[in-house]
Structure 1
Amino acid sequence: MNKSKVFKSTAMVAAVAGLSFGAVSLVSGLEVKPMPAPTEGKGSWMAGDLHTHTVESDDSRTTQTLDFLLDKALGTYKLDWMILSNHLRSSKYDQNGNLLAKPVPFAYAMESIEIPHVKDMQAGGTYADKMILSAAEWDMPTHDHANVVMFQNESTLETSTDGAKEFQYLFTTLSESLFNPQDVAAWKNRNGSVRPNQTGADALSAIAWLKAHYPTTSFATINHPSRNPNKYTIKDFRQMNDLAPDIVFMIEGMVGNQMEPDRGGYTSAYIDANLPNRTYGGVDAVVAKVGGVWDALLGEGRHVWNIADSDSHFKIDAASNSSGYYPGEYAKNYVWMPESGKGTATGLIASLREGRMFGVFGDLINALDFRVVGSSGTAFMGQEIKVGAGEKIKLTIRFKSPDLNNYLKPVDGNTLANMKPVVNHVDLIVGDVTPKASPDSAAYNVATNPSTRVLKRFTAADWKVGKDGFASVTVQLVANKNQYFRLRGTNLAVDAPGFSYNGEPLADQKTWVLNNQGGVDNNGRVNAINDRNYSSLWFYSNPVFVSVR
């Protein structure tokens, strides 16, 4: 397909479109293995992270080498898979933190440094049983960041570095002089001299390019969407999903950078006008607000999923600046992967597209089985079940928590606090599903779903704990209209001063500790941030849709 036509067609689309612990000496990095919940078909739950950085990102630290990050993610914290997503800018270091002769576009560094090093390690037997994928975090024109993943073909997990290089040239503002002249000549021959990297329509052009060239082997995640004001409207989300529903289908609601004083790195002024640009229990307002943006999208039956990531750059540097936890230390994204799809691009992308996954902070849970049963069968997270009007359906919720999580005391030490994560309550949230809003209608700009509400709130008085350690609760309902059901759970009491009110998470406040002279107490600050985060743990499921015939 002629790419100039892609750009023109996309322009038309744009036009319409509570803390309890006691100190215990342990080795840091407790292995918290996922406990497989009962489920249909052969497969397994695999814990991973879609958003991580090494020294090859221009805002990381030289201590966060590729080997260091992999050891933390896959060795210490036992993730099953991860996506390396360095910034799609320029890289001036190699994988070990050594200066390159001159900076290079990251897509070239990915091709010549990152991927070969990972292959060599796995060929030698190191992390040979793990999925380690290479992608890039793109500065989306006029918006914020998106992770762009593209594979060479459907049968392997080989990243298309040719595609990454061309994408970086076309859709970023990096100087043309940094790219290989022969590559530039070939790209200009295919696309013309235009580099669409300035406007919101250009962002849609990039998504259209992915759809045209990697329709089944690419996806793009919307990262920390509300970190800065005025970066997205509900219309933007709808346009991107309408344009490429099989590519733009994940929003990073459970954001990384949790070790920053402004939780998640959401640094906007603490005024009422910026409440939509805060995190709530570490979760972006897009996902955290019941009846808000995510529910507006789900209320149109859109398969748009929430994910949890670390956005790891560094934890605490030599100057006592803090950024985020290591991959798998605090945030985990559990994805159900059938045996038939493991090790292939189609298998991984199919699992993500299906939305059979849940996100969690602080290992509040490490297993979740959420299903809806009706006369036509069973639907799990991300799936749809069709039932007759007036039919009784059964919703089953089963979850399990590990004995200990990775809470460290102090945060930069090697001693685990003996903290067992305990779920205080689980909310069953329901919303109505109506037809999609037309791009030319006023409803296309509506960012709420007034029908969404907490249908039931369950506590330990409601669930039973079996011999297998799973807490379970079952609800019977009558299906009389199209709806979706989703879950969230927390260790917080329904009313926890400073953290929640009437069961709803409150906007996270800045954590800043001063010393006796009025300066910043850096040691106190990083430990207070860590205490804050482990005081407010959450998990969110993806929805199950119920359609009434």
Structure 2
Amino acid sequence: MKSAMPLHVLILLCCASPAWAADADEGRSWLAGDHHVHSEWSVDWDESTSPPTPIRGGDSPYTRSRNARQAVAHGLRWMVHTDHGGPGHSRVTRDHAWPALQQARRDVPALIQFNGMEFDVPGGEHASLIIAPGPDEHDQLVGLERDYSRRDPLQRGTREDGRLMLNALAHMRTMTPQPLVFINHPSRSAEGVGEWGDVEPAELRQWHDAAPQVLVGMEGAPGHQAAPQHRGLYRNTDAPTFGGFDQMTARVGGVWDAMLASGRRFWITATSDSHENVRDGGRDFDPGQYSKTYVWARPEAGDVLDGLRDGRIFAVTGDLIDAMQLTVRPDGDASRSAQLGETLSVPAGTALRVELKLRQPERANFNGDRPALDHVDLIIGSAGTDGAPHMQVKRLDAHQWQRDGQWLSMQWSLPAMPKGGFVRVRGSNTPEAAPSADPAGEDPWKDLWFYSNPVFVRIEG
């Protein structure tokens, strides 16, 4: 911490304005949200007509106002409406989804609501496209869907060229303010562990390099976690989720770690992908009911977007935790530090101190449980000489951390990083040393995890 205040004083302060915050953090707190939510404007299509006729409520029975109310009921402060497209769906976005968003904002003013869509990626699969609120947000979304979405043309198969995605990102890069893009369920079409489908690691790198302030991450934990057979609807038995998280995220030294080790600022989230709730016969949880993406931000749309863009994020399932502070500083030097999404620059040979504080919720989660944290992993990564990331995992169990009320405190000392790298943390209510493959029919409430985004370390000179 930047002060020598007792822990109990710091805990009291952090609930309003954190003691560790610099002036830029004034008024910020952890705001839970969801960037992947469907409504009745995720339509089906009557293809007996020309052009095809949209069928309202075809893929979700819920209004946008209903989704917004459910989000607030489950503790969310922000949400993105992301209906998916089809032949001529940009007209549905223009004429129906937009007025429904305006109505939802009037009906549920306590929730920050973003205009967006589940973008059909040319040459890929799906992504959450998030538009910044403002006078142009309607036209910006309609134009992007009309001009670039893979499924919007009436003639199928005309936008399968991945170069169009690069054109779309180039256009988004010129927009003011810039939108955000997160790749959805990246390994859902994979055929095995490391056997990729519609989304390949090389594509992620290419897309991020094309617009690093626009395409900033991916779903670490996909939605559809209530699916009765396979979590996330990851239907290929040889390519499941692991603890509810995509293999690109869950496997230490995998795709996400390789991107981080190469220096890319690429973040992960957790979403509901809500279409129809399991209690209504569907396979989904409501927004915030099971998965949450927490952003360190002020309760205003612009700062939430900045937090998503800059990596001030952690992802969690089952309300295992609801606040986090991950700090990296030179060992013995309290004057400099970096936190989630930030970079600490140090001279070569500098040893590091990592400090982590976690808060467990006071209330039961939406399954009526109060899950106990079993262990926390500190994950340390750096670029290896062979091109693969060099990884270490340091585990702490409950007897190795300090508790003060709902807060848990732990720390690690690390030797100097010769070439720099990153640190991140994850934790679980299970004793698994690493998340195991999710079997068919697993109860998702018994297998909960949180993942932080990284703090980077750069060696000066």
2:112 to 101, 121, 131: 131
Shift of 1:331: 0.5
Rounded Cα–Cα distance in structure 1 between residues aligned with 2:231 and 2:372: 22
Pairing 1:329-478 to 2, within 5 Å after superposition: 329-337=289-297, 339=298, 342-345=299-302, 347-374=303-330, 375=333, 377-408=336-367, 416=368, 419-433=369-383, 448-449=388-389, 451-454=390-393, 456-466=394-404, 468-478=405-415
SS in 1 for 2:338: strand
2:122 to 118, 125, 141: 141
Partner-residue secondary structure (3-state), 2:379: strand
Alignment of 1:532-543 (within 5 A): 532-543=443-454
C-alpha distance after superposition, 1:45-73 (max 9, x if no partner) = 11111111111112665542222211111
Q: Assess, with a 3 A threshold, how the Cα gap between structure 1 residues 362 and 158 changes in structure 2: closer, same or farther.
A: farther
Work out whether 1:82 is the aligned partner of 2:32: no
Distance 1:51 1:172 in 2: 17
Residue deviations 1:204-259, cap 9 Å, x none? 222122123x1642111100000002212221011111110000111111111001
Residues 331/361 of structure 1: CA separation in 2 closer, same or farther (3 Å cut): same
Give the superposition deviation at 1:401.
Answer: 1.0
* Matched residue count: 417
Q: Is the 1:90–1:105 contact (alpha carbons within 8 Å) kept by the matching residues of 2?
A: no
Could you tell me the TM-score, scaled by structure 2's length?
Answer: 0.84
1:108 paired with 2:95, answer yes
Task: State the one-letter code of the partner of 1:109.
Answer: H
**Aligned position for 1:166:** 143
Q: Which runs of 5+ in 1 are unaligned?
A: 1-33, 93-102, 122-126, 179-194, 409-415, 436-442, 495-502, 512-528
% identical aligned pairs? 29
- Structure 2, unmatched stretches of 5+, are 1-13, 45-57, 191-196
CA positional deviation for 1:434: 7.0
Q: Quick one: structure 1 residues 465 and 157, their matched pair in 2 at CA, closer, same or farther if it must change by over 3 Å? A: farther
Quick one: which of 40, 50, 53 aligns to 2:35?
A: 50
RMSD: 2.5
Q: Give the Cα separation in 1 of the matches to 2:406 and 2:150.
A: 53
Aligned to 1:264: 232
Check conservation: 2:68, 2:104, Cα contact below 8 A.
no
Query: Is 1:203 matched up with 2:154?
Result: no
Superposed displacement of residue 145, structure 1: 0.4
Cα 1:35–1:509 shift into 2, 3 Å = farther
Aligned-partner Cα distance in 1 for 2:308–2:428: 24
CA distance in 2, matches of 1:35, 1:330: 23
State the AA in 2 paired with 1:383: E
Q: Output one character per residue of 1:168-207: Cα deviation in whole Å (capped at 9) or x when no partner.
A: 22223556679xxxxxxxxxxxxxxxx9722111222221
Match in the other structure for 1:412:
none
Q: Tell me, yes or no, if structure 1 residue 293 matches structure 2 residue 255.
A: yes
Structure 2: which amino acid aligns with 1:120? R
3-state secondary structure, aligned to 1:45? strand
Q: Is the 8 A contact 1:290 1:452 kept in 2?
A: yes
One-letter code aligned to 1:545: F
Shift of 1:283: 0.1
1:59-92 alpha-carbon deviations (Å, 9 max, x no partner)? 6655422222111111x21211111111133699
Contact in 2 for aligned 1:280/1:507 (Cα 8 Å): yes
Relative contact order, higher structure (CA 8 A, sep 6+): 1
Partner residue in 2 for 1:486: 424
Q: 2:337 aligns to what SS in structure 1?
A: strand
Contact 1:157–1:344 (Cα < 8 Å) also in 2: no
| Matched residue type, 2:199 | Y
Alignment of 1:270-289 (within 5 A): 270=237, 274=238, 277-289=239-251
Distance across 1 between alignment mates of 2:355 and 2:103: 45
The whole-number CA distance in structure 1 between the counterparts of 2:176 and 2:316 is 30
1:324 Cα deviation from its structure 2 partner: 1.1
TM-fit CA distance, 1:542? 0.4
**Contact 1:490/1:539 (<8 A) preserved:** yes
**How far apart in 1 are the matches of 2:135 and 2:406?**
39
Q: Cα offset for 1:128?
A: 2.4
Q: Which residue of 1 aligns with 2:438?
A: 508
The TM-score, its normalising length taken from structure 1, stands at 0.71
Contact 1:299–1:431 under 8 Å retained in 2: yes
Q: Is the 8 A contact 1:215 1:247 kept in 2?
A: no
State the distance in 2 between where 1:174 and 1:298 align.
32
How far apart, in 2, do the equivalents of 1:280 and 1:175 lie?
Answer: 33
Answer with 1 or 2: which has the greater Rg. 1
Residue number in structure 1 paired with 2:206: 239
Cα deviation for residue 504 of structure 1 reads: 1.3
Contact 2:319/2:361, CA 8 A, preserved across alignment:
yes
